[in-house]
Structure 1
């Protein structure tokens, strides 16, 4: 509305450019996070919303967390992060675009599930939050709605590229399961939606697992989100996709505005979450942040590259899931010193073997940020390699 008004009064068309709105969304979300952060933290402290530190079954981690005062640090900081993020999208994103609208609904829905989980932990400290079944049901309903609506919209408008998969490193290779004939078409439809559900829900849970050290999850999501913002912008530009030989997805460039808001909100949250953290993210922030990374990968057709784009999230989540699986099926044995592996480095200085000296939390976080940046840069290089 502001853009239309400026155009009518002064002939200014500045806000028609997506690149301008990406920057504006980032600055708006950043400023809102700074404005909302301090009063939200004071409010959470007044409610004694203290984080139930996930000790992963480690007494050493419980001791370290207690000694560092983390048991007295308020959680649910993701609430003001998500509000800042969604506000930036509402102000600068084009909500008439289905991909932007569904992305907004996805983040709001995952944020609601995470908030309910955090609130349950607050009101029922011994419950550990929502039951695993209820939490997975909530995540699945939100994700399946967004993915199903996007797939149906793509089918009705003939945008087949959105419902295809594109393996990296290969030219002109396209997997289109929705175009298979007969019963295989039904199988392809169900399989594609299930795969995209796995991408979005998996990314949401990976961010949730990574959220264990001050600034770790927010910093890694910022880096991965910046790379995916570039991917979305490129994928929505027909001239650029033609030059780079990558799939063109109409309206994907508008998701870059969502990516800008994501990066700005993460920067604003890091202002308060950097070591020593004044507030923790909680499920109300980590679940929607991870989910929107998966959604942006879906829109930009980088689902198969997402493990590289969000390498730290995948490594942390993979180590946690692998440790749990091996522990249950080996009679109590462990692969890693502690999982997720950022805690192994923090507590024991090593991933597989305990070392005499611990690694400081800040050192672990910064090195993981570096790994995240390397993965994001490597993923962007695949644009030209293809």
Structure 2
């Protein structure tokens, strides 16, 4: 929005040209989202407390979590508000990639809101019926993916980039739709599974989003794309604003979500943020890099899959003391802050490794 205003005002003073720089708008989007989160956070927490939208704790969970019962949940609303306002202010709204990203972010946010509503208001600990939850997540993803495919069909925007190999970039064709669908829906659910401890999911999300901001900037720059041997995608640079808005909103939320948490993001936050990371990875053609940088999310999801598979196929034998894997370490006696910080450190290391692979090609 401010881009259009600046284009008009530049005729009166060249200083308004600064808003056309993607780096400036990226930084401003981060600061705007951060300040909005810090400003509305206390108000939203108080409102959630008045509405008695408290966290539901499963009886089979770790005993240490019983004290969290009643802590306000659905705090992801503040994240969505902060990202939405920041992106609308600082992004070039003529860019289709912004709208694909916003569709996933807010579409998944609505599904997560309904899921949370069933849990906290209707007292249904399972939330929205699973088949309907995945139906709507799938429908929203397919709408976005089909639009993305039509926009970039048979161009670099539908190639698969393989880390470490600069010459391997096959054209995916219709398989682009299948891969993109699983990346978006899978990442959304992986982040949702990770969101089980105070601040555990939001910090890796911030780190991965920050890394994708750098990648989007390079992908949208002809010279840097050529230098790094990655596809040049003309619309991708505007995703810098979207990613930095996630970073800012995430850090603002962490202010209230750090141990001991004053608020939880709920499915409205975790499903939407996971979907957002997935769609950005698809748009900048770095799905495989997301697996590396988002390794914490991958391991959390795999631990659940392995646990369920083992329970069903091995006569109720379990691999972990409890899944997702962060609960396994709690059951082993690790204090919650130790689990959280160590997972943060691992996430930072994986993000740095992922960024290094861009050069090792």
**1:75 paired residue among 73, 81, 106:** 73
1:103 matched to 2:101? The reply is yes
Which residue is 1:374 aligned to? 349
**CA distance in structure 2 between the partners assigned to 1:127 and 1:254 by the alignment:** 39
Which residue is 2:218 aligned to? 234
What is the number of residues matched between the two proteins?
A: 357
- Residue 286 of structure 1: how far off its partner (Å): 0.2
Matches within 5 A, 1:143-154: 143-154=141-152
**CA distance in structure 2 between the partners assigned to 1:308 and 1:320 by the alignment:** 19
What secondary structure is seen at the aligned counterpart in 2 of 1:304? helix
Which residue is 2:166 aligned to? 171
- Residue 166 of structure 1: how far off its partner (Å): 1.5
Closer, same or farther in 2 for the Cα pair 1:14/1:54, shift >3 Å? farther
- Residue 127 of structure 1: how far off its partner (Å): 5.4
Which residue is 1:361 aligned to? 336
1:315 matched to 2:299? The reply is yes
Mapped contact 2:116–2:266 kept (Cα < 8 A): yes
**CA distance in structure 1 between the partners assigned to 2:124 and 2:115 by the alignment:** 13
Mapped contact 2:58–2:125 kept (Cα < 8 A): no
- Residue 304 of structure 1: how far off its partner (Å): 1.2
**CA distance in structure 1 between the partners assigned to 2:157 and 2:57 by the alignment:** 40
**2:89 paired residue among 68, 77, 91:** 91
- Residue 54 of structure 1: how far off its partner (Å): 4.6
**CA distance in structure 2 between the partners assigned to 1:265 and 1:126 by the alignment:** 29
Which residue is 1:8 aligned to? 11
User: Which range moved further: 331-340 or 371-380?
Assistant: 331-340
Q: TM-score, normalised by structure 1?
A: 0.90
- Residue 124 of structure 1: how far off its partner (Å): 1.4
**1:134 paired residue among 126, 132, 135:** 132
What secondary structure is seen at the aligned counterpart in 1 of 2:170? coil
**1:162 paired residue among 157, 179, 186:** 157
- Residue 2 of structure 1: how far off its partner (Å): 3.4
Q: TM-score, normalised by structure 2?
A: 0.96
1:20-52 deviation digits (Å, cap 9, x = unpaired): 000000000001111111010000001111111
Closer, same or farther in 2 for the Cα pair 1:127/1:340, shift >3 Å? closer
1:258-308 deviation digits (Å, cap 9, x = unpaired): 001000000000000001100001000000101111111111111012111
**CA distance in structure 2 between the partners assigned to 1:319 and 1:284 by the alignment:** 23
How much is the aligned-residue C-alpha RMSD, in angstroms?
Answer: 1.2
What secondary structure is seen at the aligned counterpart in 2 of 1:305? helix
**CA distance in structure 1 between the partners assigned to 2:228 and 2:280 by the alignment:** 19
**1:21 paired residue among 12, 22, 25:** 25
Which residue is 1:223 aligned to? 207
What secondary structure is seen at the aligned counterpart in 1 of 2:347? helix
**CA distance in structure 2 between the partners assigned to 1:19 and 1:208 by the alignment:** 30
Which residue is 1:49 aligned to? 53
Question: Could you list the runs of 5+ residues in structure 2 that have no partner in the other structure?
Answer: none
Which residue is 2:182 aligned to? 198
**CA distance in structure 1 between the partners assigned to 2:25 and 2:90 by the alignment:** 6
Which residue is 1:355 aligned to? none
1:291-348 deviation digits (Å, cap 9, x = unpaired): 1111111111110121111111111111112111111111111111211111111221
1:299 matched to 2:274? The reply is no
- Residue 106 of structure 1: how far off its partner (Å): 1.2
**CA distance in structure 2 between the partners assigned to 1:366 and 1:6 by the alignment:** 46
1:220-260 deviation digits (Å, cap 9, x = unpaired): 10011111111111111110011111111111111111001
Question: Could you list the runs of 5+ residues in structure 1 that have no partner in the other structure?
Answer: 179-188, 349-357
**CA distance in structure 2 between the partners assigned to 1:238 and 1:100 by the alignment:** 20
What secondary structure is seen at the aligned counterpart in 2 of 1:73? coil
**CA distance in structure 2 between the partners assigned to 1:219 and 1:135 by the alignment:** 25
Structure 1 runs (4+) greater than 6 angstroms displaced: none
- Residue 5 of structure 1: how far off its partner (Å): 4.2
